[in-house]
């Protein structure tokens, strides 16, 4: 082989290598653009998916606004029924969904006050329902019927943060309170998870922070067909003493609120008497004396201009109620206009509308 043959041989090899390199480069280029195209498709798909699953958040102005859509299935309703006050309600739901349709709800967050203690209740209706930590990390595990509850305690602050996590009817609940006493979280769980009693007969149920007393016990008395009286007892000098009474048909409507900001909560009762009259009674602890208060007629006449005489001269009273969501007393007069066009006013003067006198319990 001479040098010319050797040169031609190397030339052929170089051409073959160059051709192979060119082919590889084209394949690499196609692969690279294929990967980029796939990434773009995945990105667009993810964006579209996020848009479809995006949730909207709405601040609910009134507890009643959300409760009426729940068919009584919200455990927070049991707290409200016993005097709990909702302070803030936030609802997130699937974009394009309807607030009135619980099937579109994603999360519901409720903050409130129950007997002077703040609570937060988060309800998760989404796909990732069970967000609790490993039960092994729980402060305690407990059971209410078929519902298992994991309780966690965070000791970074005083009072401690207690958090109870449980799943009920495919909804995961996260109930949180700050307290120095672990029994408080069990008291909440007892309310929201225990089997509901007859709403008319909460005998034995206890309330706290009522009229300056730590514990107040409710006992029911049937006074007539479908008519009931609820008595509220506290311990005084080792004796059970009745400090308030309430009348009604369905169930006790009672709230503990500090209306005059003196540090001692009053007891507010919506009452319905046997003749159908609906009135508000407020009980207060006035320097150690338990007093009962009703809205005075003079307040209606002087402040609102309402007479208590109906169209045919019969003495009549407006329908009185306490609205716990707004924290106001309301009065509805059916005799100013036609009966089907009543006039309702809000009484925002604290305890000023009430005349008080010593409460006398008749056994």
Residue 73: count of CB within 10 angstroms of its CB: 12
* Residue 11 and residue 3 in contact, taking contact as beta carbons nearer than 8 Å: no
Q: Does the 55-193 domain belong in CATH 2.40.160?
A: no
DSSP 136: G
Segments making up each domain of the chain, as ranges = 55-193, 206-358
User: What SS3 string covers 228-262?
Assistant: EEEEEEEEECCEEEEEEEEEECCCCEEEEECCCCC
Across-strand partners of 270?
A: 253, 280
- How far apart CA 50 and CA 259 sit, in angstroms, is 48
Q: Report yes or no: 183 and 206 within 8 Å, Cβ to Cβ.
A: no
Burial of 99 (0-12, 13-18, 19+ CB in 10 A): middle
Give the HSE-up count for residue 244: Cα atoms under 13 Å, Cβ half-sphere.
31
Cβ neighbours, 10 Å, residue 136: 7
Q: What is the pLDDT along the chain (363 residues), one digit of tens a residue?
A: 554 554 454 455 455 544 555 555 555 555 455 555 555 555 555 444 444 446 577 777 666 677 767 666 678 777 776 667 777 888 887 766 667 777 788 888 888 888 778 899 998 887 554 454 566 678 888 877 778 888 898 887 778 999 999 988 888 999 999 998 888 888 888 888 875 555 566 766 677 778 988 778 888 888 888 789 999 998 888 888 999 999 998 778 888 888 888 888 899 999 998 878 899 999 999 988 999 999 998 888 888 888 765 554 456 678 999 988 788 899 998 877 666 778 888 987 789 999 999 998 866
Would you say 233 and 242 are in contact if contact means Cβ atoms under 8 Å apart? Answer: yes
Report the phi/psi class of residue 283: left, alpha or beta, with left for phi > 0 and alpha for psi in -120 to 50.
beta
Alpha carbon 332 to its chain centroid, in Å, reads 27
- In whole angstroms, what is the distance from residue 340 CA to residue 334 CA? 7
Where helices occur in the chain by DSSP H, the ranges are: 3-53, 63-67, 76-81, 183-193, 297-299
What is the spatial distance between Cα 75 and Cα 78, in angstroms, rounded to a whole number?
6
CA distances 29 to 33, 43, 72, 263, 314, Å, are 6, 21, 63, 78, 97
Q: Do 164 and 175 meet the contact criterion of CB atoms below 8 Å apart?
A: yes
Q: Is 155 helix (H, G, I), strand (E, B) or coil?
A: coil
- The Cα 148–Cα 168 span in angstroms is 9
pLDDT at 269: 93
């Amino acid at each position: 082989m001479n040098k010319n043959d050797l040169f031609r041989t190397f030339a052929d090899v170089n051409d073959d290598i160059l051709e192979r390199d060119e082919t590889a480069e084209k394949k690499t280029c196609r692969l690279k653009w294929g990967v980029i195209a796939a990434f773009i498709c995945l990105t667009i798909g993810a964006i579209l998916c996020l848009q479809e699953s995006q949730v909207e958040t709405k601040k609910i102005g009134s507890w009643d606004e959300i409760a009426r859509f729940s068919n009584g299935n919200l455990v927070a309703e049991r707290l409200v029924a016993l005097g709990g006050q909702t302070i803030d309600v936030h609802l997130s739901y699937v974009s394009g969904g309807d607030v009135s349709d619980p099937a579109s709800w994603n999360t519901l967050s409720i903050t409130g006050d129950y007997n002077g203690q703040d609570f937060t209740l988060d309800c998760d209706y989404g796909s990732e329902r069970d967000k609790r930590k490993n039960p092994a990390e729980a402060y305690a595990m407990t059971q209410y019927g078929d519902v298992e509850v994991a309780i966690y305690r965070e000791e970074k602050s005083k009072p401690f943060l207690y958090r109870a996590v449980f799943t009920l009817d495919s909804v995961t609940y996260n109930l949180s309170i700050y307290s120095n006493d672990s029994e408080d979280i069990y008291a909440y769980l007892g309310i929201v998870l225990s089997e509901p009693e007859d709403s008319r007969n909460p005998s034995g149920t206890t309330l706290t922070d009522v009229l300056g007393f730590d514990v107040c016990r409710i006992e029911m008395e049937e006074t007539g067909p479908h008519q009931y009286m609820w008595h509220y007892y506290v311990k005084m000098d080792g004796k059970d003493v009745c400090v308030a009474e309430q009348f009604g048909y369905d169930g006790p409507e009672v709230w503990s609120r500090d209306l005059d900001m003196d540090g001692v909560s009053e007891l507010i009762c919506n009452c319905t008497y046997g003749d159908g009259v609906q009135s508000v009674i407020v009980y207060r602890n006035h320097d150690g004396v338990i007093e009962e208060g009703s809205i005075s007629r003079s307040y209606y006449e002087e402040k609102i201009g309402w007479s208590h005489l109906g169209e045919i001269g019969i003495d009549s009273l407006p329908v009185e109620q306490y609205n716990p969501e707004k924290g106001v007393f309301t009065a509805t007069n059916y005799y100013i206009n036609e009966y089907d066009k009543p006039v309702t006013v809000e009484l925002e003067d604290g305890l000023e509308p009430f005349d008080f006198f010593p409460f006398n319990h008749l056994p």
